[in-house]
């Protein structure tokens, strides 16, 4: 495949698997898209790996394949030919690859049915998945404050997690440490607080890096709904962030107020 074909393949993967980020990337300049689509396509392929089989060993092997890709990038070796791995290697540094390797390792939780050990374990999972992804994307584009990006990513990660809870539970997972209404409300409120904290320092994310956090603004409606009515999580009636973002995204891109 050619470079353009790889780029198109990555874009198609993101469009199908992560429409919220897809719309955010399409609002970015073309050079930023060339960076973000391979990173986000990688994330989708990794996130999908634990769920395409009921055999834990096969799922482990699928994740290990992506860890091997990251290791090849870290070591500066020729990266195996693949429609996502090849453009990913061109878009990131070896330091980014180290971080993405941690992201893949964190996804091992998705394979098994063990609950999170404690709050620290849950927060580490969110930071190594949503946080690492956002920081790699932002720092690959331009200058940004890492804590600001990670706070924004935490909010987006919590919103996505709450929306996924009915599906996770149907697959036999235990996604929450405290699944009571009070526990759900507290988690959603923490997401809102971290989003407010990030927005208060949004100028610490340069214009060049900003496309990596365009999508995070959509988390606010989801988190507010969960705070107002925690039963909306179990009932799967949280707002659709893609639909809610159709009007807001162009405004955020135009003003830079994500």
Note the pLDDT tens digit of each residue in 73-84. Answer: 999 999 999 999
Residue 1 has pLDDT above 80, yes or no: no
Say how many C-beta atoms besides its own lie within 10 A of residue 208's C-beta: 16
Query: What distance lies between CA 142 and its chain's CA centroid?
Result: 18
pLDDT band at 206 (very low <50, low <70, confident <90, very high): very high
Nearest Cα to Cα of residue 92 among 140, 21, 42: 140
The terminus-to-terminus CA distance of the chain in angstroms comes to 36
* pTM of the complete model: 0.96
Span 120-146, pLDDT tens digits = 999 999 999 999 999 999 999 999 999
Span 149-205, pLDDT tens digits = 999 999 999 999 999 999 999 999 999 999 999 999 999 999 999 999 999 999 999
Measure the CA–CA gap between 133 and 54, rounded to whole angstroms: 26
How many angstroms separate the Cα of 54 from the Cα of each of 28, 50, 51, 113, 221?
A: 38, 8, 7, 12, 34
Between CA 153 and CA 161, with CA 155 as vertex, the angle to 5 degrees is 100
CB-based contacts of 180: which residues, under 8 Å, 6+ apart?
A: none
Mean pLDDT, the chain, as a whole number? 97
Predicted pLDDT at 33: 98
Span 19-34, pLDDT tens digits = 999 999 999 999 999 9
Predicted pLDDT at 247: 87
Residue 2 has pLDDT above 90, yes or no: no
Predicted pLDDT at 246: 87
pLDDT band at 3 (very low <50, low <70, confident <90, very high): confident
How many angstroms separate the Cα of 60 from the Cα of each of 17, 41, 51?
A: 21, 19, 11
Boundaries of every domain in the chain: 1-112, 117-258
Nearest Cα to Cα of residue 126 among 210, 56, 191: 191
């Amino acid at each position: 495949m050619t470079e353009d074909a790889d780029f198109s393949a990555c874009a198609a993967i993101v469009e199908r698997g992560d429409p919220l980020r897809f719309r955010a990337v399409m609002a970015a300049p073309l050079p930023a898209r060339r960076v973000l689509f391979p990173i986000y396509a990688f994330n989708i392929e990794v996130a999908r790996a634990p769920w395409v089989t009921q055999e834990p060993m096969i799922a482990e092997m699928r994740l290990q394949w992506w860890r091997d890709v990251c290791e090849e990038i870290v070591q500066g070796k020729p990266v195996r030919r693949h429609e996502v791995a090849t453009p990913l290697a061109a878009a990131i540094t070896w330091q980014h690859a180290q971080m993405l390797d941690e992201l893949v390792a964190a996804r091992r939780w998705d394979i098994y049915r063990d609950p999170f050990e404690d709050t620290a374990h849950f927060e580490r999972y969110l930071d190594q998945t949503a946080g690492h992804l956002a920081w790699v994307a932002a720092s690959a584009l331009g200058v940004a404050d890492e804590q600001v990006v990670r706070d924004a990513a935490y909010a987006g990660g919590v919103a996505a997690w709450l929306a996924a809870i009915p599906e996770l539970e149907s697959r036999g997972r235990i996604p929450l440490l405290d699944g009571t209404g009070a526990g759900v409300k507290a988690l959603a409120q923490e997401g809102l607080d971290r989003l407010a904290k990030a927005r208060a320092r949004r100028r610490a994310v340069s214009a060049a890096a900003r496309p990596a956090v365009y999508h995070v603004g959509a988390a606010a409606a989801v988190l507010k709904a969960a705070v107002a009515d925690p039963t909306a999580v179990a009932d799967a009636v949280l707002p659709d962030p893609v639909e809610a973002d159709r009007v807001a995204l162009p405004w955020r891109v135009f003003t830079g107020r994500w």
